A and B are shown apart, each in its own frame.
Chain A
Amino acid sequence: MTATVLLSELLARRVVALDDASDIGHVETVILDRGATRVERIQVSGRSRSPNLVDWAQINNVGADAVIITNAAAVHESRDAEDDNIYVRGEIAILGAEVLTTGGFPAGQLEDLHIDTATGEITAAVTTNGTVAADNIIALGTFALVIN
């Protein structure tokens, strides 16, 4: 059985590097692909001005108290400015986002995401109108989460 973590529980969790046991920071937000199928990267709080990002593939373990990443050098700056920055700038607020059907009908607000800890895949979305399976999630953008 795949282990999943809720986005709301992942946010603010400590991020620690496995190689030198250093504290990297806390999870500030996650960056999804356009189709909202997976978490591509996490943004970690830090002192530098540009956002600190860690690819999901560099996450060794999502533990109850800390996210363990493979090594401290895995922290990098934004490589895909356009896509990363809309999350970092807060233009796409994941939790609280409006939910819209393909017919243009309002379908509540996004309350949480279930994330597969191994792959970063979104397995389900929790909305104020109920849970939406991954198959019915189409995209998350600046206006809404679009679902079938």
Chain B
Amino acid sequence: MTSPRLALTLASDLPGRPVVGIDSGDDIAEIKDVIFDPVSHNLIGFTLNKRGWFRGNLKADLPTASVYAIGPAAVMVSSTTSLVGDVDAPAQLNLETEIVAVIGTRVLSSAGEELGTVADVVLNTGSSPAAVGYQLDSNDGPIFVPISAQLALSGDNLILPEHATDFVRHNLADFGASITRYPHALASSS
């Protein structure tokens, strides 16, 4: 029996991925930006572009709770009604708290060791999309650290709590396996 592992993706891999309605089979939009709250480390949702030759900003957003599943070929939603107009979108979606806000933040261990700087946000895929970690640029190449409610953001620094250091990995697949045993993961997957 293989050990459980989460199928993870980097947030930067999602822009351009089609959004497909399960009830229609139509590509009703594509992901423009991933909206992430760097203070609570929560995945808020996605802004959207139109599909086709006349691509452009779509005046509708996709809140995380309305995602049916994030798959490798498409982001699946139940129907067009899963997209919400700007007026009905969660407040953070309108603020467009884009991932950019957290990129470049220095990450330190609680022992004071510098681990690297945030390069990307790691998302769980499937039917429970959520932010589960950060990819850091470090002197040893990319490393992956888990997100928890205890991950303190102070000024320009993120402090990784001591209990998280055992779950740090050097590649995404290993991180997907280690994170399933991480007891401090954010409960809010929706």
- 8 Å CB interface, B50-88 against A: 68-76
Question: Are A104 and B72 within 8 A (Cβ)?
Answer: yes
Question: Are A145 and B20 within 8 A (Cβ)?
Answer: no
Q: How far is the CA of A106 from the CA of B18 in the complex (A)?
A: 12
Write out the residue numbers on chain A whose beta carbons fall within 8 Å of the beta carbon of B127.
103
Question: Given known contacts A102-B68, A102-B69, is B24 in contact with A144 (CB within 8 Å)?
Answer: no
Q: How far is the CA of A48 from the CA of B75 in the complex (A)?
A: 41
Q: How far is the CA of A101 from the CA of B23 in the complex (A)?
A: 12
> How many interface residues does A have (CB within 8 Å)?
20
Question: Are B24 and A104 within 8 A (Cβ)?
Answer: no
| Cβ-defined partner of B27 (8 Å) among A102, A106, A140, A142 | A142
Question: Are A146 and B72 within 8 A (Cβ)?
Answer: no
Write out the residue numbers on chain A whose beta carbons fall within 8 Å of the beta carbon of B174.
none
Encode A95-114 as 1/0 by CB contact (under 8 A) with B.
00010111111100000000
Question: Are A104 and B70 within 8 A (Cβ)?
Answer: yes
Question: Are B27 and A104 within 8 A (Cβ)?
Answer: no
Question: Are B73 and A105 within 8 A (Cβ)?
Answer: yes
Question: Are B72 and A144 within 8 A (Cβ)?
Answer: no
Write out the residue numbers on chain A whose beta carbons fall within 8 Å of the beta carbon of B18.
143
Question: Are B21 and A141 within 8 A (Cβ)?
Answer: yes
Interface of A: prevailing SS: loop
> How many interface residues does B have (CB within 8 Å)?
20
Interface of B: prevailing SS: loop
Closest to B24 in A: A141
Q: How far is the CA of A141 from the CA of B28 in the complex (A)?
A: 10
Interface hub of B25, B26, B127 (most chain A Cβ within 10 A): B25
The smallest C-beta distance from A132 to any residue of chain B, in angstroms, reads 13
A138 within 8 A of B: yes
Question: Given known contacts A143-B74, A144-B74, is B22 in contact with A102 (CB within 8 Å)?
Answer: yes
Closest to A140 in B: B25
Question: Are A146 and B126 within 8 A (Cβ)?
Answer: no
Q: How far is the CA of A106 from the CA of B25 in the complex (A)?
A: 13
Encode A1-22 as 1/0 by CB contact (under 8 A) with B.
0000000000000000000000
- 8 Å CB interface, B117-172 against A: 126-127
Question: Given known contacts A103-B127, A104-B76, is B71 in contact with A143 (CB within 8 Å)?
Answer: no
Interface residues of B (CB under 8 A from A): 18, 20-27, 68-76, 126-127
Interface residues of A (CB under 8 A from B): 34-36, 98, 100-106, 138-146
What are 30 A-to-B residue pairs whose CB atoms are below 8 Å?
A34-B24, A35-B23, A98-B73, A100-B25, A101-B71, A102-B69, A103-B69, A103-B71, A103-B76, A103-B126, A103-B127, A104-B71, A104-B72, A104-B74, A105-B71, A138-B23, A139-B21, A139-B23, A141-B24, A141-B25, A141-B27, A142-B27, A143-B18, A143-B20, A143-B26, A143-B27, A143-B74, A144-B20, A144-B74, A146-B22
